[in-house]
A and B are shown apart, each in its own frame.
Chain A
Amino acid sequence: MARFALRCFALATVLGLGACAAPSPYDYSAFKRDRPVSMLVLPPLNESPDVAATYGVLSQVTLPLAEAGYYVVPVALMDETFRQNGLNNAAEIQDVSAQKLREIFGADAAVYIKVKKYGSSYAVVSSETRVTIEARIVDLRSGDLLWQGSATASSSEAQGSNQGGLLGLLVQAIVSQIASSATDASFKYAGLASQRLLYARKNGILYGPRSPNYQKD
């Protein structure tokens, strides 16, 4: 009788945790040592053929970082400041020294994003819109690499697929919000990819000081 109960419990545990299971743990020692309070997201490098990629992503990265508890330097103002200093493209901007970035923007860490895929591809039977982005977060004070990762969102994912309880629920809510205001398909998936990339989650970034979950992870 006790063994049956134990087996039921074990099964329930496995089933329950399956949705939240994580890959091998990330080494957060630099992140926990440096604990940045603010993030400067630089204009993303674009390796896709769609010129809309840089701003499609840049305009949607503030949300996950802010909700994770960080102050995010206003992206449009930042872009304007770079322009007025003669820097118009992401490659030049991502080359600016940490010291200069900190001097002007006062942020603790910079987020360097690269868009690997952005856009729709059309095959005979189906079409797919896909956005893939990578990011590195570097502390502007110490030079430490705090975190790096990548994420993808695509129209070929099954509708209502289980993306893992918490993140899945949030993402679903956002999709309906974005869908109503998006002007192109890639924009919607750029939003999803940005959230998957930069929300505080298992192996994702840690919570920041403005989050009620700060230092609980």
Chain B
Amino acid sequence: MRAGIVALAVIAILAGCAQAPKRLYYWEGFQAQLYEHFKGDVSGPEQQLLVLEEQSQKARAANAASPPGFQAHLALLCLLAGRDDEARTHLEAEKANFPESSQYMDFLLKRMSQGKP
């Protein structure tokens, strides 16, 4: 009886402290690719696009969500690679996935339509 009470208490406490929550988003190599982009010395936008587009497919297959900024970053890479129409699609996707991004996405879309880089 005594041992039972102690065991229950310990389990209750440890259970509260030791659970690792499930991730909200599928991260994989996203942040490493952000770093690659910033460093700009090894891979270019085309290469980074390949990696991230593959990751995007894996996320979809796993029924997982891509993180905030993921679609938007694909848009940037498309812009750098001269793929403007695709860039627009990705910006719209960011807006659809994360309505909180609307103001900035609209700002960028407007600039694109005005021919500014």
Contact B38 A59 (CB under 8 A): yes
C-alpha spacing A17/B116, complex, angstroms: 56
Residues of A in contact with B (beta carbons under 8 Å apart): 1, 4-5, 8-9, 12-13, 15-17, 19-20, 37-38, 52, 55-56, 58-60, 62-63, 66-67, 69-77, 79-81, 84, 104-107, 164-166, 169-170, 173, 177-178, 181-183, 187, 191, 210-213
User: Which of B5, B20, B75 meets A9, CB within 8 Å?
Assistant: B5
Whether the pair B101, A166 counts as a contact (CB closer than 8 A) is no
- In Å, the complex CA distance between A24 and B70 comes to 37
- Asked if B19 CB lies within 8 Å of chain A CBs, one says yes
Instruction: Considering the complex, give the chain B residue whose CB is closest to the CB of A79.
Output: B38
Report, as a range, how many residues of chain B touch the other chain.
35 or more
Majority SS of interface residues in chain A? Answer: helix
Closest A-chain residue to B17, C-beta based? A165
B13 located at the interface, meaning its Cβ lies under 8 Å from any Cβ of chain A in the complex: yes
| Minimum CB distance partner of A69 in chain B | B24
Q: Give the dominant DSSP class at B's interface.
A: helix
Given contacts A12-B13, A170-B20, contact A62 B31 (CB under 8 A): yes
| Minimum CB distance partner of A56 in chain B | B35
How far is B35's CA from A178's CA once the two chains are assembled, in angstroms?
Answer: 12
Write the nearest CB–CB distance from B26 to chain A, whole angstroms.
11
Q: What chain A residues lie within 8 Å of B6 (beta carbons)? A: 5, 8-9, 12
Given A13-B9, A66-B68, A182-B32, A74:B73 Cβ within 8 A: yes
Query: Contact check: which of B2, B94, B102 meets A74 at CB < 8 Å?
Result: B94
Known: A66-B24, A75-B69. A12 touches B10 (CB 8 A): yes
